[in-house]
Amino acid sequence: MAIDRTFAATANHAVLDVKDLRIEFPGRQGALVAIEGVSFAIGKGEILGVVGESGAGKSLTGSALIGLLQAPGRIAAGTIHLSGERIDNLSQQEQRRIRGKRIGAIFQDPLTSLDPLFTVGRQLTETIRTHLPVSAGEAHAKAIHLLKEVGIADPENRFNQYPHQFSGGMRQRIVIALALAGEPELIIADEPTTALDVSIQAQIIGLLKRLAKTRGTAIMLVTHDMGVIAEIADRVAVMYAGRVVEIGPVEEVVRRARHPYTAGLMGSIPSLNRRLGRLAQIDGSMPRLGNWPSGCPFHPRCPNAGPRCTESTPALTDAGGTLAACFLHQGGTDL
């Protein structure tokens, strides 16, 4: 697929550069393609929001990047480079080495990342010593520093406490500290605020934003929430049925979505939606894996669909401000 990379201008100096990624699940009746032709790049200190409904392929893409694709899923085509080094073809052992050290991960539920039997201090110092050549004393000092950096008050005392002694928001801060422990170039945050109260969500979003800017960490933020994206992302990739259907700077995508699916997703930001006069509803639901419609995969739900949309699949092309995979920006839908 020919992609104008203007909107991934950082690609040449990218921390993460994904090109034409395809993920398949082999089956008796042939392979099910779950991700097709996905390309994007993230620069130093940049936050790329990856948004879409459940089943769009966002988390699957994130799993592939950290080498945690569950069997029998496999990368069938494409490349993934981390700071210029190809990482999609590494052995499992090599991928484990990169995970935690060069790529940090934050998931929705902090409890899945924390061990209830050990103090947060011990978990932090062990993670630091796994990834960095430091003494026990240096690891201790670094752990205290990390706790302070993610906004844990009284870190010297909190160091000796167990995960259950922290609130949900504080636990997610500790998970962020753990993700930072190996001083990673890239953090993959998969729905990091979904399980939290709205006021705590805002704090965690603020923290991630600050870390990207002060540390220069590249962040891929996976979420179904356009509101979170509008708050934090520099650029946005919108996924539908295993493809990127629109990608561009956040202000372009949020304020003037070119793709009808993105326009529908805008309904999840009520104030913006009112101002822009868009309809909040997208009728129907995301097709299931193995049931992708022919042509443009969005055509059964698209209010603008024409004959052309059922026959061929639009490529991601320049839509004036973003790249969009939609015939509306390629000469019309009824050709």
Applying CB under 6 A, the span of 30-38, 131-139, 279-287, 327-335 interacting with ligand SF4 comes to: 327-335
**CA 263, CA 213: separation in Å to the nearest integer?**
29
User: Is residue 100 at the binding interface for ligand SF4, with CB under 6 A as the rule?
Assistant: no
Q: Which is nearer to ligand SF4, 232 or 326 (CB)?
A: 326
Place of tokens 């997208």: 282
Footprint of ligand SF4 on 284-323 (CB under 6 A): 296, 298-299, 302, 304-305, 309, 314
- Cβ distance to ligand SF4 smaller for residue 67 or 314: 314
Between residue 232 and residue 291, which ones bind ligand SF4 under the rule CB under 6 A?
259-260
Residue number with CB closer to ligand SF4 (87 or 236): 236
Distance CA 266, CA 236 (A): 13
Q: Which is nearer to ligand SF4, 67 or 295 (CB)?
A: 295
Helix (H), strand (E) at residue 19: strand 16-25
Tell whether residue 327 is a contact of ligand SF4 (CB under 6 A): yes
Residue 25 CB partners (closer than 8 Å, separation 6+): 31, 32, 34, 72, 73, 74, 289
C-alpha 51/C-alpha 58 separation (Å) is 7
Q: Is 107 in the site for ligand SF4 (CB under 6 A)?
A: no
Q: Considering the complex, what minimum distance in angstroms separates the CB of residue 316 from ligand SF4?
A: 11
Stretch (H or E) spanning 39: strand 32-42
78 versus 314: smaller Cβ distance to ligand SF4: 314
For residue 99, the minimal CB distance to ligand SF4 (Å) is: 36
Q: Measured between alpha carbons, how far apart are the two ends of the chain, in Å?
A: 21
Phi, psi of 135 (to 5 degrees): -80, 170
Least separation, in Å, of the C-beta of 71 and ligand SF4? 33
Task: CB nearer to ligand SF4: give 194 or 330.
Answer: 330
Q: Tokens for 234? A: 């520099």
Candidates 64-72, 75-83, 102-110, 324-332: pick the segment binding ligand SF4 (CB under 6 A).
324-332
* 181 phi/psi in degrees, rounded to 5: -60, -35
3-state secondary structure of 103: strand
| Smallest gap from residue 326 Cβ to ligand SF4 (A) | 3
Name the DSSP letter for residue 104.
E
- Extract the tokens encoding 103: 């790529």
Residue whose CB is less far from ligand SF4, 181 or 257: 257
Task: Give the footprint of ligand SF4 on this chain (CB under 6 A).
Answer: 259-260, 296, 298-299, 302, 304-305, 309, 314, 326-328, 333
